[in-house]
Chains A and B, each alone.
Chain A
């Protein structure tokens, strides 16, 4: 199947601090990127997306940064809250594979009170 093995790195953040989750994508031809949040027992939830003609996009408490030169994507969450605890996946569109998008391996975000 098309997926990266799931050895989840964990990011532990103090409640109220900002979180930065990083992702390296694989295909320089990818032009659309999505961040998903998956809570335990639920499906991935769309957070924010960005197209390759942009390098930054902001949503409510979240910002996505795209660096096409080094094929790097990051998700910044401002003032992290307990409800932000989840696994976060980046995804890129996939022109050369059967799947519409390719998911990264995910990062587990843990919030310290």
Chain B
């Protein structure tokens, strides 16, 4: 069974641009969560999608948004990029919304904002 797939693997953008990251969850998994990882802040929760609806949201500005498609694939978008948005963006999938089940991560998209 294929794991969580994230594309692209690396991305370089300039301030003010926007970016879209993609995540394909493990087959059969319906929940997709997004995390931002930086050396200084660790793993920070962005949002979680289930059945094409955002179910939970972390403490990030509205420039960060996402969506989920009927096949459970998810995208996240960051508009008006800032230098501080440089980070590893991780997608994780799980079967349901339950908090007591395994969460599987992709390899991430390394975003650099210049």
Listed in ascending order, the chain A residues whose CB lies under 8 Å from chain B are 1-6, 31-32, 34, 36, 41-46, 49, 51, 89, 91, 93-95, 97-101, 103, 105-106
Contacts and interface: CB of A to CB of B under 8 A. Distances in A.
Contacts of B44: 1-3
Contacts of A45: 105
Identify the 4 closest CB pairs spanning chains A and B, nearest first. Answer: A1-B44, A99-B45, A43-B105, A32-B100
Contact of B103 (A4, A34, A41, A97): A34
The B interface is mostly helix, strand or loop, or mixed, namely: strand
A98 B100 contact: no
Given A34-B103, A99-B56, A100-B48, A3 B33 contact: no
Most buried by B among A93, A94, A98: A98
Interface stretch (B11-19, B34-42, B65-73, B74-82): B34-42
Given A2-B59, A43-B90, A44-B105, A98 B45 contact: yes
Contacts of A95: 99
Contact of A42 (B39, B45, B101, B108): B108
A42 B57 CA distance: 24
B41 A5 contact: yes
Nearest to A104: B42
Contact of A1 (B4, B45, B106, B107): B45
A91 B42 CA distance: 13
A98 B58 contact: yes
A98 B47 CA distance: 8
Most buried by A among B43, B92, B94, B97: B43
Contacts of A93: 99-100
18 contacts: A1-B36, A2-B59, A3-B43, A4-B42, A5-B40, A6-B38, A6-B40, A32-B100, A34-B102, A43-B90, A43-B107, A44-B105, A51-B100, A91-B103, A98-B57, A99-B45, A100-B31, A101-B99
